[in-house]
A and B are shown apart, each in its own frame.
Chain A
Amino acid sequence: MTVIDDHEALGTNGGVRLSEAGARDFFELLKPRVMSLVVFTAFAGLVLAPGHIHPVLGFIAILCIAVGAGASGALNMWYDADIDAVMSRTANRPIPGGRIQPNEALAFGLTLSFFSVAILGLVVNWFSAGLLAFTIFFYAVVYTMWLKRSTPQNIVIGGCARPLPPRNGWGLRPRGGSLGNNVVFLLLFPLAPAPFSGPPLFKMRDYGSVGVPMMPNVAGEASTKIQIFIYTLLTAVIAVVPALAGWSSLGYGVFAGLLGAVFLYCSIAVWRMPDGDQKMVPAKKMFAFSILYLFAIFSALMIDAFVAPLLSLIGGAA
């Protein structure tokens, strides 16, 4: 039995509304798939940065960055619940699905934002905490509340938040605040729009129906495809820069070059896709590959950072 002492528990029709949301629904608010990418890139930034951090503190810091990213996802879902409800890709999210009330999602997002930033500041450093707070603000306010519904460049400008987790991972180390080898940070700038223009392309009719000015709806499919190709080319070139600049080995450079070539091939396939294509298979394939590409490039950078010194040690000993 429960005592009703809260007016919010009463539905608008006078009936009782008690939550049936499970822990899984709240976890879904965190956008776990996006979070996994954030965790991985932040980890890569942490591994590649100079200086030393206690492994347990490093783990806690990555956890804070993950929770902060999840919090911004929850705030995004809270604000976008109205358009999520009418798009097939998002109609079953916890809020439009009716499993979580908007106010619950807002409180959840704000609470997690506060704790993730505060704990990161107390445990590691306030530079990283500030960067995490800015990332949450940028994604939840600048991108979600402002850019997304006002400009077709929303993904391009909003995507500037995506390089922040690896940069944040980098800044966790004592000497990570220096500019140094910040290519990891740069890597995601052009990459951000390239993969994430996939869903707008094959879900453009959905976005158009809710009035979100995605590039394909505003500039047309042809122009969007050219932009995707340009961003992909930039990404493929920047991914090779660490090898050209001598920050990583030739092996990494060859690997990144080959991956970049495949990425470019995918973007050309998207470019050659006929206008009005209903299935848009190449765009879906490119989106899937771009996620794989991101994981592969960061993995290669991390492996290279450990393997190259080992090889030179062995070479020196011989």
Chain B
Amino acid sequence: MIDKITLTDKQQKSRRGRNIALGFALAGLVVLFYVVTLIKFGGGMQG
């Protein structure tokens, strides 16, 4: 049998806040690696 609980409003709100922050951090990392790749290999690809 699985025990289940209902999150309080505060728990739900804080979880949503953490998820959004994590989403932004991951998106930031994607952009960061993309930009760094362009800069590092940009010159090579032009040639």
Contacts and interface: CB of A to CB of B under 8 A. Distances in A.
Interface string A16-42: 101111111010000000000000000
Contacts of B4: 1-4
Interface in A106-149: 119, 122-123
Nearest to A9: B5
A56 B39 CA distance: 9
A54 interface: yes
B17 A20 contact: no
Question: Interface residue tally of chain A, by bracket?
Answer: 20 to 34
B17 A1 contact: no
Contacts of B6: 1-2
A16 B17 CA distance: 20
Given A2-B5, A4-B3, A23 B18 contact: yes
B19 to A, nearest CB: 9
A70 B41 CA distance: 30
A57 interface: yes
Contacts of B35: 56, 60
A26 to B, nearest CB: 7
A123 B45 CA distance: 18
A22 B32 contact: no
Contacts of B39: 54, 56-57
Contacts of A56: 35-36, 39
A60 B32 CA distance: 8
A16 B15 CA distance: 15
Given A2-B5, A4-B4, A22 B18 contact: yes
A2 B7 contact: yes
A57 B33 CA distance: 11
Given A1-B7, A4-B4, A23-B17, 20 more contacts: A2-B4, A2-B7, A4-B3, A4-B5, A16-B5, A18-B5, A18-B7, A18-B11, A19-B11, A19-B14, A19-B15, A20-B10, A21-B18, A22-B13, A22-B18, A23-B18, A26-B18, A56-B36, A57-B36, A60-B32
